[in-house]
Amino acid sequence: MTYVMVDVETDGPIPADFSMVCFGAVIVDDALDKTFYGQLRPMSENWILKRLEISGLTREQTLQFDDPKEVMGKFRDWLKLNCDDRLIFISDNNGFDWQFINYYFHHFLGENPFGHSSTNLGSLYKGMVKDTSRNFKHLRKTVHTHNPVDDVIGNAEALLHMNKEMGLKINL
């Protein structure tokens, strides 16, 4: 299995009505050097200023980004190039990130190479420490900047710590 940490930035709360404007991914391994970054032109006229401000982007910038179908095709090709077995989608907030990645893959390419499931990093940590009020974010080394590549690397660092230092058994 290949764990792929994913993070998305959007201009609104749900796909189709709003747009994923950029996303990042990293193959979870000791090197954390296989990353993907995509910037996608909005597919909707709707957008919320406060949502864009989180990512530090403006609407004018996002309108200059790449065609979403091309970006999703490049992401699919990157996954094929870097993963030779079953893909495991994992993110800090999989309920949010998954809905956008899944929608964009199906909408633009007709399939999602991750299949139909995802894993939540925070829930995994809560189960490990047996406390639903705790979070994993102190395990990150890379600062959380809302640049999705920085954020996936930090989250992957946390997952690697859980694996190496806390006894989580995952095949990397």
Strand partners of residue 35: 26
Q: Where are the domains of the chain?
A: 2-8+26-34+67-164
What's the pLDDT tens digit per position in 147-166? 999 999 999 999 999 999 99
Characterise 32 by phi-psi region: left (phi > 0), alpha (psi -120 to 50), beta (else): left
Q: What is the pLDDT of residues 98-130, one digit of tens each?
A: 999 999 999 999 999 999 999 999 999 999 999
Evaluate if residue 171 carries a pLDDT over 90: no
